[in-house]
Structure 1
Amino acid sequence: MEIIGTVAQVVAPVFLLAAIGFAWIKAGYEYRIEFVTTLAMTLSVPCLIFVALMESEVDPDALKSTFMASVAAYGAVTVAFVILVKLFKLEMRSFLAPLIFGNTGNLGLPLALFAFGEEGLGHAVIIFAVMAVYSFSVGVWMVSGGGSPLKAIKEPLVWATILGAIFMVMGWRTPEWLTNSIRLVGQIAIPIMLITLGVALARLRAPTLGRAFVLSTVKYVICIAVAVVIGLMFELGPVAFAVLVVQIATPVAVTSYLLAQKYGADADEVAGLVVASTLMSIAVLPLILGFLMA
């Protein structure tokens, strides 16, 4: 019973904040999701990543292992879903990217922080950064059917990760007044991302969820299996291993729906995946955390 209470303390704030965003829209209030998302991805999340890495007390070698493991995990997940999409004759542009990329920002970061503290957050931002770079480059190319994968180098979170890693390895610190300012901006990232997740879910319209639930189930099985195998292969520590599994197993990201709309993929199918996988995460993620924290 104690582990159930611990898991509840971890997941309750996550789903409560998402529920606030959902209720906000249902109550008829305005929420400019594009503005908030831009604010988060270009300012608050980069600040969160930079400070988390700069102040991380995790062994840099351990974070390096997390980085390598996350790259390997996303590579393996990509191969698995390419085979799956071709096997079931699904449209590559609409289904591949959503199945690969989980909600490592809106859900993964707060779950890692609440469940495993600052150490967990340090590992989580590494995995999130890998996913974000991959998503904004190759992922966009998958959905759009073209374009340059190098556009990811323009993303602030990429540079925040690089700078944070340099400061961490070199043992540098920004002046206290600047650190406090950056930290304050970064602290708004997790609450607004969770509220925005709820807002996005409230606005999604998925015509059918039958196939979406089946694909979401397959996604969870493959992602969890890959993360466990990769984590064991790289001999990750307990916290790093747990965070890798949680991050790789997060549900389909809302950004996948936005990209599908922008580039003309089947947005309704992607919306179904977002809704189905997120609903399933209410049961799946607590089970994963319960097992990992036992």
Structure 2
Amino acid sequence: MNLAFTVLEITAPVFILAMIGFAWVRLGFDYDVTFVTRLATTLAVPCLIFTALMKTEIDPQALTALSLATVAAYGAVTVLSWALVAGLGLSRRTYLAPLIFGNTGNVGLPLALFAFGSTGLSYAVVVFAIMAVWSFTLGIWLVAGRGSLNRVLREPLVAASLLGGLFLWQGWQTPPALTSALELIGQMAIPLMLITLGVAVARLTTRRIGLALGLSVAKLVLCAGIAWAVGRWFALDPVAFGVLVLQLGTPVAVTSYLLAEKYGADAQAVAGLVMVSTLLSVIAVPAMLALLL
């Protein structure tokens, strides 16, 4: 019973904030997703990532181990997802990126924070940063047929991760007043991302629900299973292990839908994956937490 209450306490804020965004749109209120997303990804989330890394007291060797495990896990997920899409005869441009990339920002960062505290958040931003680089290179190439290393280097999320890692490595700290300001800005990130997730889901339309459900279940089993195996292989500490499994087990990212819309893939099919996998996470996330806690 205590475990059930613990899982509920962790997951309830995530789903409550997402439902606020969902209800906001259903009630007919305006919500500028483009503006809020830009605010979050160019300002709030980079500040959150930078301060989390700068202030973390985690052993750099532990962060290195998690980084290597994350790269290995995403490599394995990419290969097996490619095989799955090819075996089912599905469009690589439409289905492969959603199967690889989860919602490690909107869902993964809050879950890591609520489940494992500031230490979990520090680990989670490492996974998130690696996923972002993978997404801006391989992800764009899969959907559009071209990648952009320059775009990766210009992304505030990546720059904040590299800068935060440098400060962590050197033991540097920003002046207290600046640190407080950056932390205050970063505190916007999680509620903004969760409410925007709910708004985005409320506005999506879907088709081929049966296929979306099957692929969503396959993604969950594949990604969480690989993360579990890789985490054990690298002998990660319990918090890093839990964060890796949670992050890779997150539902399909809304950005996958935006990329499909931008580059001419089947955006409605991806929308179905986003919606179904997000709804599936209502059951999947508590189940994963029950196994990890």
Give the TM bin, normalised by the shorter chain: over 0.9
8 Å Cα contact 1:253-1:274 kept in structure 2: yes
Give the match for residue 44 of structure 1.
44
Give the match for residue 186 of structure 2.
186
Per the alignment, in what secondary structure is the counterpart of residue 82 of structure 2? helix
Give the match for residue 120 of structure 1.
120
8 Å Cα contact 2:104-2:248 kept in structure 1: yes
Deviation of the 1:147 alpha carbon: 4.0
The within-5 A match list for 1:224-235 is 224-235=224-235
Give the match for residue 92 of structure 1.
92
The answer to whether the aligner puts 1:273 opposite 2:267 as a matched pair is no
Give the match for residue 3 of structure 1.
3
8 Å Cα contact 2:129-2:157 kept in structure 1: yes
How far apart in 1 are the matches of 2:107 and 2:146? 29
How far apart in 2 are the matches of 1:148 and 1:168? 28
Give the match for residue 175 of structure 1.
175
- 1:187-230 residue CA offsets vs partner (Å, 9 max, x unmatched): 00000000000000000000231100000111111111100110
How far apart in 2 are the matches of 1:37 and 1:192? 8
How far apart in 2 are the matches of 1:146 and 1:224? 28
8 Å Cα contact 1:137-1:150 kept in structure 2: no
Give the match for residue 33 of structure 2.
33
Give the match for residue 155 of structure 2.
155
How far apart in 2 are the matches of 1:13 and 1:116? 14
User: Which piece of structure 1 moves more, 139-148 or 259-268?
Assistant: 139-148
- 1:211-255 residue CA offsets vs partner (Å, 9 max, x unmatched): 000001111111111001100111100000000000000000001
8 Å Cα contact 2:3-2:290 kept in structure 1: yes
Deviation of the 1:148 alpha carbon: 2.9
Aligned length in residues:
293
Deviation of the 1:35 alpha carbon: 0.8
User: Which piece of structure 1 moves more, 9-18 or 56-65?
Assistant: 56-65
Structure 1 residue ranges, 4+ long, deviating more than 4 angstroms after superposition: none
The answer to whether the aligner puts 1:109 opposite 2:113 as a matched pair is no
- 1:14-64 residue CA offsets vs partner (Å, 9 max, x unmatched): 000000000000000000001111111111100000000000011111011
- Sequence identity, in percent? 57
8 Å Cα contact 1:94-1:265 kept in structure 2: yes
- 1:101-134 residue CA offsets vs partner (Å, 9 max, x unmatched): 0000000000000000001001000000000111
The answer to whether the aligner puts 1:138 opposite 2:138 as a matched pair is yes
TM-score, structure 1 length as denominator?
0.98
Backbone CA RMSD of aligned residues: 0.7
Give the match for residue 283 of structure 2.
283
TM-score, structure 2 length as denominator?
0.99
The answer to whether the aligner puts 1:222 opposite 2:197 as a matched pair is no
Give the match for residue 70 of structure 1.
70
Unaligned runs of at least 5 residues, structure 1: none
How far apart in 1 are the matches of 2:166 and 2:30? 40
Corresponding letter in the other structure for 1:16: I
8 Å Cα contact 1:102-1:248 kept in structure 2: yes
How far apart in 1 are the matches of 2:252 and 2:147? 23
8 Å Cα contact 2:94-2:270 kept in structure 1: yes
How far apart in 2 are the matches of 1:207 and 1:139? 23
Corresponding letter in the other structure for 2:90: L
How far apart in 2 are the matches of 1:73 and 1:126? 13
Corresponding letter in the other structure for 1:125: V
8 Å Cα contact 2:138-2:147 kept in structure 1: no
Per the alignment, in what secondary structure is the counterpart of residue 174 of structure 2? coil
Corresponding letter in the other structure for 2:102: G
How far apart in 2 are the matches of 1:202 and 1:4? 28
